Amino acid sequence: MRVNNLPLRILIHLGLWVILYTLPSLVIQSTVRLPNSFGEVMNWVMVIIFFYINFLWLVPAFLNRKRFLIYFGGILLMLSSSYFSNEAYHRYSMRKEIAAGTMQSPPSDSRRRPPRFRGYFSALFCFAILALGTSMRVTEEWYINEKQVKEMENQKLGAELSLLKSQINPHFFFNTLNSIYSLAIIRSDHTSEAVLKLSELMRYIIYDTERTVVPLSKEAEYIANYIELQRLRLPADVKVILKSDLGTGDAIIEPLLLLPFVENAFKHGVDAENGGTISIRIIRRGNELTLHVENPLVFVSNHIKDKHAGIGVNNTLKRLELLYKDDFTFTAGPVKKQYVVDLRLKLKDDAVSDS
């Protein structure tokens, strides 16, 4: 995880270097000692400098941009510098000790000369540190990219949901105003009551649907108010049955997720000549929510053709796909002389609460 606080990042890096320096002594259970020669200090300084050259510059500037030739050329240059500088210092120390008489000259036979372990070890150690730095930086960049991608996806999801919801609201009000208009034409006594109901629905739309989620009980109450508004304009021989069983406690759901299916029943299922029954059931069992809507199949050919053509239903299905993905099932179609909609929705675990 990337730490944005610079002083904290410096402290973390210092701590990691201390751990790296003391780890070998801790593993073999020996005494931790400070570097006792210029060669050791030089080796650690070079390793630390090369680490940050790689971590801060080479990886982001070349490796992440797939400029591999320059990147690996830089790595090879640092490894060569580590090898030759330590080898040169080792040879210089040997010659100095020989000149001082504290060390015998190496045998003339080249096969018996001391092996160049110091340069090889330094280069190998430098390679391990550079590999560690590359892994850390690549992992950090991957984490940042994944976070940015997720944020962009969330922003896109939010924008799409806002757009879909904004398209549903005018569609709903257009239909409802048509209903009130029909009452006003016949000078019905229910016109004022219908306007009052519409104002209650508008209050819910304006204030509550701006939230990401709303209580399921409030959404069900909103649907009940909508049905009452529709009843005012329906002929007497058209019956509406609403059954709502939300179980114990309460749950949370995205606003306006159920209404378009109910609205569709009133839009396509009212037969003023033959009457009929519109049946709506909203049942919750645990974290599973079921919506069942039945209405008379009016104008069969047109209705079947238009079963997914409504903007409200289309947009709601898109919202369901964005929000719940595989956690919902939806079926809709004619069954005998009825048009039946079944929606089963698995509420999110954190969307159920006892209250």
pLDDT cut 70: percent of the chain above it:
81
pLDDT higher than threshold 60 for residue 113: no
Query: Which pLDDT does position 16 carry in this prediction?
Result: 85
Residue in 276, 273, 255 with CA at minimum distance from that of residue 265:
276
pLDDT higher than threshold 60 for residue 7: yes
Q: Dihedral through CA 140, CA 141, CA 145, CA 151, nearest 10?
A: 40
Q: What is the pLDDT of residues 38-79, one digit of tens each?
A: 878 888 898 999 999 999 999 988 988 889 999 999 999 999
Query: Which pLDDT does position 303 carry in this prediction?
Result: 44
H-helix or E-strand containing 214? Answer: strand 214-215
What is the C-alpha to C-alpha distance for residues 99 and 95, in angstroms, rounded to an integer?
A: 6
Instruction: Report all structural domains of the chain as residue ranges with CATH numbers, in order of start.
Output: 6-101+115-149 (no CATH), 188-353 (3.30.565.10)
Q: What is the pLDDT of residues 271-320, one digit of tens each?
A: 767 778 899 999 999 899 999 999 988 764 444 444 444 666 777 888 88
Give the neighbor-by-neighbor strand order of the sheet with 288-296: 238-245, 276-285, 288-296, 338-346, 328-335
Count of all residues that appear for the chain in the document: 355
Most confident of 92-96, 112-116, 166-170: 92-96
C-alpha pair distances (Å), 60 with each of 64, 69, 141, 148: 5, 14, 8, 17
Q: What pTM, to 2 d.p., does this model score?
A: 0.52
